[in-house]
Chain A
Amino acid sequence: MPVSTPPTALTAGVPTIVVVGHGMVGQRFLEALADRGLTPAAGTARVVVLCEEPRPAYDRVQLTSYFSGRTPEDLSLVEPGFMERHGIELRVGDPAESVDREARTVTARSGETFSYDTLVLATGSYPFVPPVPGKDAEGCFVYRTIEDLLAIEEYARNARTGAVVGGGLLGLEAAGALKGLGLDTHVVEFAPRLMPVQVDEGGGAALLRTIENMGLTVHTGVGTQEVTAGEDGRVDGMCLSDGSSLETDLVVFSAGVRPRDQLARDCGLAVGPRGGIVVDEECRTSDSAVFAIGECALASDGRVYGLVAPGYEMALAVAEVIAGNAASFTGADLSTKLKLLGVDVASFGDAHGAAEGCLDVVYADSRSGLYKKLVIGQDGTLLGGVLVGDADQYGTLRPMTGTVLPVAPEQLVLPAGAGGPVTLGPSSLPDDAVICSCHNVTKGAICEHTTLPEVKKCTKAGTGCGSCVKVIGQLLPQPADQGLCGCFEYTRSELYEIVRTLGVTTYAGLLDSHGREQARGGDGCEVCKPTVGSIIASLAPTVGASGYVLDGEQAALQDTNDHFLANLQRNGSYSVVPRIPGGEITPEKLIVIGEVARDFGLYTKITGGQRIDLFGARVDQLPLIWTRLVDAGFESGHAYGKSLRTVKSCVGQTWCRYGVQDSVKMAIDLELRYRGLRSPHKLKSAVSGCARECAEARGKDFGIIATAQGWNLYVGGNGGATPRHADLLAQDLSDAELVRLIDRFLMFYIRTADRLERTSTWLDRIEGGLDHVRDVVVHDSLGLCDELERLMADHVGGYRDEWAATIGDPERLRRFVTFVNAPDAPDPSVKFVPERDQVKPDLDILAGPVLAIRTLEGTSS
């Protein structure tokens, strides 16, 4: 058998390290070697890695996240270029088959033989399959590798029910995966509770209730006696030890793991009576040239560790020893924090209260699936604990294990409002507290950095199980405040969600419950008041608030334009814009507008949105003007609101020889559907009857262009200071498809946009951009579409013309006076002078210098 020689001169004459196994621990070991300069690139060692799986190391802890959309590549633990940079020879799909300790060689399946000076076994473990009849039937799986996962996914396509044997950590992961695949899922656990290793009886009970509420069926205290198969050899059920049986199409064995020590046994290394390669405190096996790390090793404390953190510690210790330094692994605690099926589960330290004389402090709420237990020693030190349902405190409690808590332990387990909880922020931790137990990184080391990516890169903290990431975030300098204003630390879209989910109907209620501490009970400010007013108005029919913008407290939230339902102009007068849907108007209505303008002395101008603006009305004239307009069949054009302005149209197929659809009718339908819709900013639209695009639809927030087959919908267009052509969202839509898509698009925008953010900037800002929006509103990737459509249906059903509602109500009309103490006196400062046969404001009366502009919002048209 030829013996492989080093491929380059670089590694000629230097010792060779052969690593068997490239899992999480194997990769951590390689990184530790690289950190210590023990690499071919550094000219100090040849490093060969034999990997059985077809891909380099990946994050097995996060395996289930494959089903929530992470690809095998996302799960990879190997930084691109890592092997090349350090000159490491990684041989994937080529496992070690035998070891000749005498000759110090390893032979791989490919037949190639490698000499070693140091051999490191990181072969991990294999899933334990209980020796029950039928365990090899078609449809029986284990849950360990990406390949296992792919096989289960494939088989589940033709399955309805699945059963997982084992209710431990991995079993529940597997159950979550089956449920995610749409199967009716059963969990069969031999022990009397779920996760028997990690949590105690109370924690297991809380977990059980929560998991059952998710629709999984749990059988505890029963064993699997047989897996039955049909005539086709495929699994069709299971017989349980209590005599019952279970119909199932698929079985996943997840009843624990066993160390993979066969290679070691074959070459005569010492193994434990129940498996595991015997190692000393330096992780050295019975052969001093051979080390074993991770789940295949039987550590010096007589335990096999099935968690990644102790494996990493072993990897570091061995790298240190090979580098010639002193290091040891003498045992680790079994602290874990996981999110299983969406439930937080954590245990740390002496979770079962094994220490003599220790006492439990327990809070349990079966109703909400909460269970918290702290184990306190006789001298008051925290020894360990179990957290189920809410494990936020894990990050701070675990590093405090072994110390006396600064507050009474019961205060840490009680829920808010019951005398607790006292939140022990990570700032209360000492600098030497270990924050990331996977990589053994202390608070002090983390605080040397300023961003999470930097921390991950430089210290590896947060790259293991990820449970410490939240605490790391709290230790780092906080990013610039993203809040809406001085009153709210939330963004507009977050406030929208709060109002929607909690059904908040008043501004004061929102400020007092969700405002910044110092702003609660105050008057708010000019930024958040109209923003919240708009959110409540757009959700009014859904949350049960009054939709009329001038009712009750709403009246005090609106900018003056919304307050008087008209547009304030520079001299304190207002302009009036009646709605002219689609820009279509009868001669009779045109005459009414002309007569009103003439009778009230108003300046008239055609707007860019195909309607007519009447300028120069005093506050007290507004109701009189609108009484005439409403009588003639007009309604509010909402030129004053952050809401739909107009849907402009070309004349379309009806008259135009090029037109292919009735663009005017569509424009009218859309304008009437979305009129009055309150949004983060104004909304404009247009419909063109053919590709010549005379309505300039691609300059609008949502623009529609007719095709011979139907309608193309474009979104995110804008004119103004930063013009942007709208992007095509979907094409050749029927009338109904078009309306449904616009419903979804607008509601998604209203839900997620920032204050005063037009659709164009919103589309450029949100993660994933147009593709994401298309996924959400066309392909329903978030499952939101039903709700978005319902919200729009609520709006359409709840619409009432604000001006008609105002002039019919004396109480509402009371505000339309210039002076509270002289209702009949006109405003002496609102005067006009002639210009080009009409009027313009008499600015001499105002006679003040024009000073700096603070912000410019709320233009009409």
Chain B
Amino acid sequence: MTTQTLETAQDTRTIRLADGDGWFTVCDRELLTPGRGVAALLPDGRQVALFVDRSGRVHAIDNRDPFTGAYVLSRGLVGSAGGRPFVASPLLKQRFDLETGACLDDDEVSVPVFAVRAD
């Protein structure tokens, strides 16, 4: 009884990324800290940056920072501007919209966005 109560109190959701026609299971939702990202490795070798914002929504974009080529976007700081969440690259601080992948500091640059669900 006690065990069961504890389990339901925990976040038992799982994060999945769209992978072709199906969903690729990444990790438990509780491994993500709101406001901070993690990197995930897809079976084909691509790297994805996963974020949870303060309201609890999960976002996924490509982990590669197009300005430096380094795979570091998951280590940037999450913020929001006009209600839209973004991540700022930890290298040279350009910001990327987490919902569209568009760079907020350079109209001509964007990063791929991944469909993601947590349930």
Residues of A within 8 A of B (CB): 486-487, 508, 518-519, 521-526, 529-530, 553, 555-557, 559-561, 563-564, 568, 570-572, 814, 818-822, 825, 827-829, 843, 845-848, 850-857
Contact = CB atoms under 8 A, between A and B. Distances in A.
Contacts of A525: 77, 79-81, 88
A559 B37 CA distance: 12
A856 B77 CA distance: 15
B90 A522 contact: no
Nearest to A564: B75
Q: Is the interface of B mostly helix, strand, loop or mixed?
A: loop
B94 A821 contact: no
Contacts of A822: 40-41
Nearest to A571: B70
A743 to B, nearest CB: 32
Nearest to B67: A851
Contacts of A519: 80
Given A570-B91, A847-B69, 9 more contacts: A524-B79, A524-B80, A525-B77, A526-B88, A556-B33, A814-B31, A820-B40, A848-B66, A851-B67
A571 to B, nearest CB: 6
A560 B76 contact: yes
Q: Is the interface of A mostly helix, strand, loop or mixed?
A: loop
Contacts of A845: 69
A524 B94 CA distance: 16
A526 B80 CA distance: 9
Interface in B20-72: 26-27, 31-36, 38-41, 45, 47, 50, 53-54, 64-72
B40 A559 contact: no
Contacts of B65: 848
Interface of B: 26-27, 31-36, 38-41, 45, 47, 50, 53-54, 64-72, 75-83, 85, 88, 90-95, 105-106, 109
B35 A523 contact: yes
A802 B41 CA distance: 29
Contacts of B47: 819, 829
B89 to A, nearest CB: 8
15 contacts: A521-B54, A524-B35, A525-B80, A529-B35, A557-B77, A560-B76, A570-B68, A818-B41, A819-B38, A819-B40, A829-B70, A843-B69, A851-B109, A852-B92, A854-B94
Nearest to B42: A821
Contacts of B80: 519, 522-525
Give 6 nearest A-B pairs by CB, closest first.
Answer: A846-B69, A848-B69, A556-B35, A525-B79, A526-B88, A560-B90
A561 B90 CA distance: 9
A556 B40 contact: no
Nearest to A851: B67
Contact of A563 (B36, B50, B81, B109): B36
Contact of A572 (B71, B77, B88, B92): B71
A534 to B, nearest CB: 13
Nearest to B88: A526
Contacts of B94: 854
Nearest to B89: A854
Contact of A523 (B32, B39, B53): B53
Contacts of A530: 77
A216 B68 CA distance: 67
A525 B77 CA distance: 7
A248 to B, nearest CB: 62
A820 B39 contact: yes
B93 A854 contact: yes
Given A526-B77, A568-B75, A853-B92, A819 B70 contact: no
Contacts of A853: 92
Nearest to B78: A523
B31 A820 contact: yes
B45 A820 contact: no
A570 B75 CA distance: 13
Contacts of B109: 851
A529 to B, nearest CB: 5
Contacts of B33: 555-556
Contacts of A846: 68-70
A552 to B, nearest CB: 9
B35 A557 contact: yes
Contacts of A854: 92-94, 105
Nearest to A854: B93
Contacts of A828: 45
